[in-house]
Structures are given as C-alpha cells and as structure tokens.
Amino acid sequence: MISKQSYRKWIRDRNERLFQNNIDDKHSGKKWRTTQLSIINAFIEEYNASGFYPEFFITRNYWYKQSNRDNVVKHNKRLTNVINDFIKPTNSKPVFIDHFMEKHKDKQKTKDDDNAKIVLVKNTISGNYEDDVEYEVEEGSYHIHTIITGFDDDKIFYPNSKIQSAIEMVYGMDNPPLSLCKTDEGLIKIKKDLLNYEIRNRCDFLGNSKDSLVITPANEKAGFKGFQGWKGLVAYCLDDVYNVDTLLDVYDDTNSSIFPK
C-alpha cells in the first residue's frame, strides 16, 4: 500500500490548478472540502499528464453482503486482469484502470432485519415482557466504481481472438452491426457491450442481475459537483474522500494504474 507521505507529496505536486467550474458550493472554504478538491484535482491532473482519459465508468454491486475489503481487492485484481487480457495484448496505447471502493455505513439491526436476534425485555413501566432486538451492528457492504480509459477502434475492426469470440456471442455474427460501426456513439456502444459480456463471463463473483454490473460511457454533457465529463466521473468516485486517510480506504492502489508508482 502506498504511504500517506507519498500521497501527500503527489497531491501537492499535482495541484497547480483546479478544474472545478465556478459554482455555488455551500461547503466552499471548509478545510475538508479544500482537501477533497485537491485530491480530485490530483487524479485529474494525472490523467491529463498521461494523455489518456477515462472513457467508461463501471459499477459493481454485490448480490450478497460483502464487507471484507480484502475480498473486494481480490475481485478488483481479477477484473483488472480480465480487462487487460481482453484489450491490451495488441492495443497501441496503455489502458488505465482505477478502482474506488465505496462502503455503506454500518447500521444497527432492527426486529425486521433477517437474522436479527430477538430477546425478551421487561418494560419498566408496564412490567410486561416485550420482544426487542439484541443490540447488534450490521457492518456496511461494499460496492465498487471502476474507471477505465478507452481502447482502439481498430480492436473492433481487427479483433484479437477473445474480442472476436465476444462479438460472435453478443451479436450472433462475425462482425458488429454495420449501423453501429459508422458512428462514434455506435463504436462506444460496441465496446460497452463487449466489455459487459467479457466481464460477466469471466468474473464469477458477479451476480446475474442487470444491476450487478453497470457500464456507463463518459458523457461530456454530464457533470458532478462542478466537474464536467470524465472529470465528473473522477469527482463522483472521490465523493466520500475528504483526506488522505479516507483515500487510503477508498482507492485500491494495488490494482489501479494512474497513481505513479
């Protein structure tokens, strides 16, 4: 794991300018918000320095309760390996993959929760015994956001064996529909479809539901808290990060690419 000192130096080095639009932010001027903007800006600057920008935003939702960070990191590694194996062997440019792990807050169980331990408690006013739930905290579960940069259009027109196999499985023919191949939007949809098939086919920790894996192309018209396009995706992934300690929890530097190692 990367040290706090390394992160702090990187954030300082990358903060010559901010990319947030001029918007009315009620938290403007607060120390945690200033630190958060500095962290967001560091990631944005690193992508700018690389010359390659996020093209797809992948969200994974577990169909079961997953509270073990080590397991999530293992799954991130598998996803990274699958994407690299699918795209990189003959890709003319590097593919950056970055994982951000969002953990839901812990909560106290209630009588309506599954597996809640019900106990009899004496009501001190009426003197009667009533059902209550034993005090127990349910640990929050993870869901994961992954950002990946784009890959060559030539991978669609001159596919390797894995991409060719995916094309045949997704579209039922040797080539994607010609109507999709004629436009930039169509090519992005083809890439999204193929990534969706390959990841689902080779990552057995995913569920079968539509929500277990959601792939969204970057959209220059969309934004998040003053950041537009792919920069908004970065800001969204770092929305719960407000200092280096929370960055260490959220960012999987072991299986991610953009942080300079």
How long a stretch of residues is the chain? Answer: 261
Average of pLDDT values for 173-177? 95
Q: Across the chain, what does the average pLDDT equal?
A: 85
* CB burial of residue 244 (10 Å; 0-12, 13-18, 19+): middle
Task: Please report the pLDDT score of residue 130 as a whole number.
Answer: 58
In the chain, where are the structural domains located? 4-105+140-250, 106-139
By percentage, how much of the chain surpasses pLDDT 70?
Answer: 80
* Phi–psi pair at 98, nearest 5 degrees: -130, 130
Contact assessment for residue 25 and residue 224, using Cβ atoms and an 8 Å cutoff: no
Mention every residue, 6+ apart, whose C-beta is less than 8 A from residue 239: 224, 225
DSSP 8-state class, residue 251: B
Q: How confident is the model at residue 1 (pLDDT cuts 50, 70, 90)?
A: confident
Give the residue-averaged pLDDT of 26-49. 83
- Tell me the pLDDT band of 121, cut-offs 50, 70 and 90: low
Longest dimension (CA), the chain: 78
| Span of 5-19, 171-185, 207-221 with lowest mean pLDDT | 5-19
Highest mean pLDDT among 85-89, 107-111, 199-203: 199-203
